[in-house]
Amino acid sequence: MAPNGILQSKTRMQTQKRTHFNPLGEPAMSTLKAPMVRIENHKSEVLSCEFHPSGKYILSSNREGLIHICDIYGTFTKMMVMEGHTGPVMETHFSRDGFDVYSCSADGTLGVWDTFGGTRKATFEGHTKEVNCMQGTKIGYPLLCSGSNDGTIRIWDTREQKCTLTLESEGNKKVTACSFSETGEYIFSGGCDAGVKIWDLRKKEILHVLMGHTGKITGVSLSPCGGYLLSHSTDNTLRVWDVGPYTPLDRAVRWFPSNQVGAENLLRCNWSHDGSMISAGTSELDVFVWDSDSGEVIYDLPGHNSSINDVAFHPRESILLSASNDTFLFLHEIKPFN
């Protein structure tokens, strides 16, 4: 225990192992060393991934309960591993300023970690079952929302380190995906009942249910402009919804074919930093990228040999990150960087 009573995480530094693929001998189009890079620092299924706001580091987590941070440009040869969760780490995110890491786990807790020191700064307890999902506010006061198999969504104050609100799903159905709205006034959530719910945090009630999916919601992602929500479901579709103000009752905008057949983990989805592209996890071996306006598949990226659980777009460069059950992370160049 640290002097202030906060449990310190175990950290260790290991050599980062990566493989570069450049079969045609073509030069890299970004600042990566090759058009495709495989990062081999995990020993179990990689469940989540994300870029640091600066774009210099990768955050990822695995089924062993470990959280990894490594750099992507080769300026350092080490990576950090944070230990503390006793179950699979289902989702991880950097704080808006990049100084903290937020995590949620099947052990029923959420964690706050020091990005560069590796210490565990806080543990949030309150859920009674596995925590499947977690997101932070986009602007304003730093809050977290989390969804659990106990059928609740909890709002956490990261400064006061406590739960400030608990929302209960009808019938205590599992919550498998959640996200704040752009302003933090609403929560979008999904679960086993296939509806994407919009919660009004001031009224503490469901404002609207977006109907269209026929299977469990495995991921939701708010667009960079804050006006559209992307959802991913076991019905093998991705759907885009208009969640802006003054929207008509029919909020469905577009849907995209996906594949989650046989997938055991929650497969996430994400937008590119400019909102022009979307991508998602899949039970297929290739990573697909769609044009968000036309719905056309514009990239079909090989490399993985198992189900893909999460994807993330670089905040500045045209690079896509993917995380898979095959224990690998892949960095893919998706177009020339201007």
Q: Is residue 50 packed enough to be buried (19+ CB in 10 Å), middle (13-18) or exposed (0-12)? A: buried
pLDDT tens per residue, range 266-310: 999 999 999 999 999 999 999 999 999 999 999 999 999 999 999
What is the per-residue pLDDT across 206-247, written as a single tens digit (0 to 9) for each? 999 999 999 999 999 999 999 999 999 999 999 999 998 877
Structure confidence at residue 336 (pLDDT)? 52
d(CA 92, CA 88): 11
Higher pLDDT, 300 or 30: 300
Per-residue pLDDT at 27 exceeds 60: no
**CA–CA gap between residue 136 and residue 132 (Å, rounded):** 14
Which is nearest to 308 in space by CA: 334, 286, 277, 291?
286
Q: What residue segments make up the domains of the chain, in order of their start?
A: 11-93+258-338
pTM for the whole structure = 0.89
Structure confidence at residue 78 as a pLDDT band (50, 70, 90): low
In whole angstroms, give the CA distance from residue 255 to residue 238. Answer: 5
Q: What local confidence, expressed as pLDDT, does residue 250 receive?
A: 76
CA distance 78 to 86: 24
What value does the mean pLDDT of the chain take?
A: 89
| Residues of the chain above pLDDT 90, percent | 80
